[in-house]
Amino acid sequence: MKKLFSVLLAAFLFAVVNPTKSEAKVMYDGAEVVKGQTGKMTFKKDIKVYKKNPDGTFDSLMVKRNNFFKTYDIEKYDGKTFYQMGQYRV
């Protein structure tokens, strides 16, 4: 009986001391916030966003109204503000 009690006590202490880790998702306005994210852009009208290729050319993508992108960086060039959204920028 003492062995059973000591085994159950050890199991209980192990479970209390080492609980399973759970990562909570942080949600903002219906989207998950991820590490490194500085904001979220929701577009009010259809707009083109651009991706710079390694050879210096740009590819564009048309984003429809009410879609959103997560922003990761803000850059300013020649008095203009550019928002980095993964590979794309606007």
pLDDT (tens digit per residue) in 28-50: 888 888 888 888 888 999 999 88
- 15-37: average pLDDT: 77
In the predicted structure, residue 90 carries a pLDDT above the cut 70: yes
Determine the Cα–Cα distance for residues 26 and 34; give it in Å rounded to an integer.
Answer: 8
> Does position 26 have pLDDT exceeding 90, yes or no?
no
First to last CA, the chain: 71
Answer whether 0.85 is exceeded by the pTM: no
3-state secondary structure of 8: helix
| Average model confidence (pLDDT) across the chain | 83
